[in-house]
Amino acid sequence: MKAKPLFALFISLPVWLAGCGGGGGTSSTDAMTPSNTVGVSSGTITGFGSVFVNGVKFNTDNASVFRGDDQLNDVRELDIGMIVRVEGSIDDKTASSVRFEEDVKGPADGPASGNSFSVMGQTIITDPATVFNNTSLTGIAGGDILEISGLRNANDAIVARFVERKTSPASVNRYSVIGTVRDLDTTNRTFRIDDLTVSYSAADVNDLPSGNPADGQLVEVKDDSKTYAPGSLSLAATRVEPQNRLGSAGVPGARTEIESIVTRVNSSSEFEIGGILVRTTASTLFLFGTPDNIVAGARLEVEGVLGSGGVLQANKVKFEDNDARIQANVDFGGVNVAGGTVTLLGIPVTVTGTTAMEDKRDDVAPFSLSDTLADDYLEVRGFIGANGAFVATELMRDADDSKVELRAPANQIDPIAGTVTLLGVTVTTSGSTQFRGFDDQPIAASQFFGSIVEGLTVVQAKWDPFSDASAPVKELELED
């Protein structure tokens, strides 16, 4: 794995919005197309320099940079892991502003338990991608003032991408929480965000149209007096303000790309991701999955056009954590043309009419499953279907190679035995196995196994030279 530029990889909610100008037609989205080409993108900082957003490079030399209400001098005053929103022009590829807003900032309710902890009643879940600044998971203590940036999952918990302990609590001007209103009680003027009960009876609510929030509304709750007591799980808010994940550029007719966590599934053609309602049609293209794979907790990238009411009409849905790959020789007796499968390493791979097939060894064209023979060396990329089957999206025959690779979400982790299961294959290790982290750097076996979230973390195994799948692998690497 190579170092990635800023926004080259989004973990949070990347959104590219631009005017859909040009072309004929009188569709409703055409009628709503904005005349300008100003766009916005929100995603995780993975490096500094120029900004790369969905393949578009933005210059940040003259961009205004904000951390909350504070304007900074340079984008490098932000930190790796923070989720920021970038606005700019696609015409001259220049960012006009970069803005960071924390999801919660305030006292920790207590020390961490397992891979999670609580800040102002917000459940914070960490994983191998979480970046810690001035603290660590085991170093968190009740009362520590923490700033968190991450993604809300279906249970309202925050999957943290950035955790920072404030070394000078007195310099923190306020505590705050951004989240979705639940259990609204307009009589007692209270509501809930995750486990935090908020009273807004004395709060400034002038920015709320009716003076009350609404159930399901995204709001920011401010505690300007910093009165929240660790572990109390209750707060008398000083201000409650509406929030919009897309900002002012989220207008009907905008081309939109979103990558985030599915929080709700309404039907096979409608779901919610990052607080945005998404609808698919029969013409929507699905990559590395099918509609059956869309479940709460799945991380997707969705592209389409923003319609009226803020509904995203999707033309492409890509599954971010469901990409599986095999590079190996076909098993003897492993080609089943009638059944549409080919077996490698004992793993049946389903080949469909939409599988892209190529022959780089003999240049057979068109190349099909019927041209495949036992012991052919194949490189296969695909996804794990809802029924657990490996479905190929790309299949290529290449010259024979002594190297065999297997990449998939990890299951059945056994740190003591030093084994992990990928696509049903039990991968074994030995004292000579090299373990690598997300940054491609060598790490200890204990750190490797401790970083795996079962069913979510993608692992790549490499045998070189290959003798048998039961033999210890040469290398195991964590993939993001």
What secondary structure, in 3-state letters, does the chain show?
A: CCCCCECCCCCCCCCCCECCCCCCCCCHHHHCCCCCCEEEEEEECCCCCCEEECCEEEECCCCEEEECCEEECCHHHCCCCCEEEEEEECCCCEEEEEEECCCEEEEECCCCECCEEEECCEEEECCCCCEEECCCCCCCCCCCEEEEEEEECCCCCEEEEEEEECCCHHHCCCEEEEEECEEEECCCCEEEECCEEEECCCCECCCCCCCCCCCCCEEEEEECCCCCCCCCCEEECCEEEECCCCHHHCCCCCEEEEEEEEEEEEECCEEEECCEEEECCCCCEEECCCHHHCCCCCEEEEEEEECHHHCEEEEEEEECCCEEEEEEEEEEEEEECCCCEEEECCEEEEEEEEEEEEECCCCCCCCCHHHCCCCCEEEEEEEECCCCCEEEEEEEEECCCCCEEEEEEEEEEECCCCEEEECCEEEECCCCCEEECCCCCEECHHHHHHCCCCCCCEEEEEECCCCCCCCCCCEEEEEC
d(CA 471, CA 463): 8
| Neighbouring residues of 366: CB distance < 8 A, sequence distance ≥ 6 | 357
Residues 336-375 have pLDDT tens digits of 999 899 999 998 998 888 788 999 999 999 999 999 999 9
pLDDT at residue 237, as a whole number: 97
Rounded Cα gap, residues 146 and 83, in angstroms: 16
Best CA proximity match to 409, nearest among 446, 473, 352, 460: 460
Contact 205, 238 (CB under 8 A): no
Q: Can you read off the two tokens belonging to residue 82?
A: 């923070």
Question: Which residue type occupies 48?
Answer: F
Q: What is the pLDDT of residue 87?
A: 77
Sequence-ordered list of residues with C-beta below 8 angstroms from that of 289, at least 6 positions apart, any chain: 298, 317, 318, 319, 322, 383, 385
Question: Structure tokens of 225?
Answer: 């007096």
Sole residue written with tokens 């709001």: 219
Burial of 417 (0-12, 13-18, 19+ CB in 10 A): exposed
Q: Is the peptide bond before 366 cis (omega within 30 degrees of 0)?
A: yes
Tokens encoding 144: 């520590």
Between the CA atoms of 294, 298, 304 and 309, what dihedral angle is there, to the nearest 10 degrees? Answer: 90
Task: Give the pLDDT confidence of 9-64 residue by residue, as tens digits.
Answer: 333 333 434 333 333 333 333 333 333 445 566 677 766 665 554 444 667 888 88
- Pull the structure tokens for residue 299: 């991380």
The pLDDT score that the predictor gives to residue 147 is 97
pLDDT tens for 170-198 read 999 999 999 999 999 999 999 999 999 99
Task: Give every residue of the chain whose pLDDT is below 70, as ranges.
Answer: 1-42, 46-58, 89-91, 247-250, 255, 321-322, 386-387, 480
How far apart CA 12 and CA 268 sit, in angstroms, is 23
- Residues 218 and 68: their CA atoms lie apart, in Å, by 17
Token code pair at residue 116: 């999670």
The DSSP bridge pattern shows strands 38-44 and 475-479 to be: unpaired
**Distances from the Cα of 52 to the Cα of 49, 80, 87, angstroms:** 9, 15, 12
Cβ atoms of residues 10 and 56 within 8 Å: no
Instruction: For 75, list phi and psi in degrees, rounded to 5.
Output: -60, -25
Amino acid letter for position 370: S
State the Cα–Cα distance between residues 112 and 102, nearest whole angstrom: 20
Q: How many whole angstroms separate alpha carbon 121 and alpha carbon 101?
A: 18
Please state whether 174 falls in left (phi above 0), alpha (psi between -120 and 50) or beta: beta
